[in-house]
Amino acid sequence: MTISLKLLFEEIHQLKHEDDLRSHLAAKVGEYFAAKRSGIFFFDQLLAERKFQSVLNIVLSLEHNPLARYLAECHTPVHEGLVTTPKAWKSICPRPDHWHVMAGPIVNGGQLIGTVGCTREKSMPAFDTQDLADLGAVCLHLSTWTATARLARSTTRPRQEPLSTNRLTPRELQIAHLVALGRTNAEIGNELWITENSVKQALKRMFRKLSVSSRTEVVVQLHTTQPSIASNETS
């Protein structure tokens, strides 16, 4: 390890733009945690860049990725050993350079808006509790920096129209909430007392309204535009 935690904090607060987090800071985070790969991802940026759709479908799948589900529910760092078994993780993510995975939250206004991720190969040691504690400190600084930067940006730019999730009806928001919890169409139908086909048709309408093509993208839109969606109980 050639960089200290204190120096990493200083690196964060010297940055000027969010793009610098991915191009410059991610490598420093990977160096600190002795990771094979490392990255910093903001959900709104991922949505805007089609080349990152594979990342969305894997990293942010609340239905299939237990790390993503833990981050969304707890807003605290996690590694694969806390939420699944090695055999199950191999089936979820078979890449040899992702044998060990650790992820932490970037939070703004109570919303999960991004993640910090590090991976190691099978021959490397697993992430431990000290790594989780250190990543928690890094994520705290990143969240603070991001909140400050986005607030400054919002005060210097013309006010934009509300984001597209405001177009959803109350029923569609109920369905979106259950999608974010990993429910299947059949489970959503049973919970809302509607047919499975009604759920499918509602999702099609929601995809058109939000200009998305997958359930994962719906969840990302909700994370970035609806701070209270996770606690919005169905009626």
Question: What digits encode the pLDDT tens for the residues 135-177?
Answer: 999 999 999 888 888 877 766 555 544 445 567 888 888 888 8
State the average pLDDT over residues 120-133. 94
**Least reliable range by pLDDT among 100-114, 133-147, 194-208, 214-228:** 214-228
Indicate the Cα dihedral angle 170, 172, 177, 181, nearest 10°.
Answer: 160
Over residues 78-99, mean pLDDT: 88
197 within 8 A of 140, measured Cβ to Cβ: no
Tell me the C-alpha distance between 151 and 149, whole Å.
5
Q: What is the mean pLDDT of the chain?
A: 80
Residue 201: strand, helix, or coil: helix
**Whether residue 101 has pLDDT greater than 70:** yes
Q: Are strands 78-79 and 37-42 parallel, antiparallel or unpaired?
A: unpaired
On the question of pLDDT at 229 being above 70, the answer is no
Residue identified by tokens 């799948």 is 61
219 exposed, middle or buried (CB, 10 Å; 0-12, 13-18, 19+)?
A: buried
The single-letter code of the amino acid at 101 is: V
- The alpha carbons of the chain give a radius of gyration, in whole angstroms, of 18
Q: What is the pLDDT of residue 225?
A: 56
Q: Which structural domains are found in the chain, ordered by start?
A: 5-156 (3.30.450.40), 164-231 (1.10.10.10)
What's the residue count for the chain? 235
Q: With contact defined as beta carbons under 8 Å apart, do 37 and 124 qualify?
A: no
Q: What is the mean pLDDT of residues 114-129?
A: 93
pLDDT in tens, 44-77: 776 666 655 555 665 566 677 888 888 888 889 9
Does 213 or 81 have the greater pLDDT score? 81
Look at residue 227 and tell me whether its pLDDT is greater than 60.
no
Predicted local distance difference test score (pLDDT) of residue 57: 60
Structure tokens at 64: 């299939």
Residues with Cβ within 8 Å of residue 219, at least 6 apart in sequence? 60, 62, 176, 179, 180
What is the pLDDT at residue 230? 40
The pLDDT score that the predictor gives to residue 235 is: 36
Cα dihedral 171, 176, 182, 188 in deg (nearest 10): 20
Q: What is the pLDDT of residue 114?
A: 87
Q: CB-based contacts of 193: which residues, under 8 Å, 6+ apart?
A: none
What confidence tens digit (pLDDT) does each residue in 31-45 have? 999 999 998 988 877
The DSSP code for 21 is I
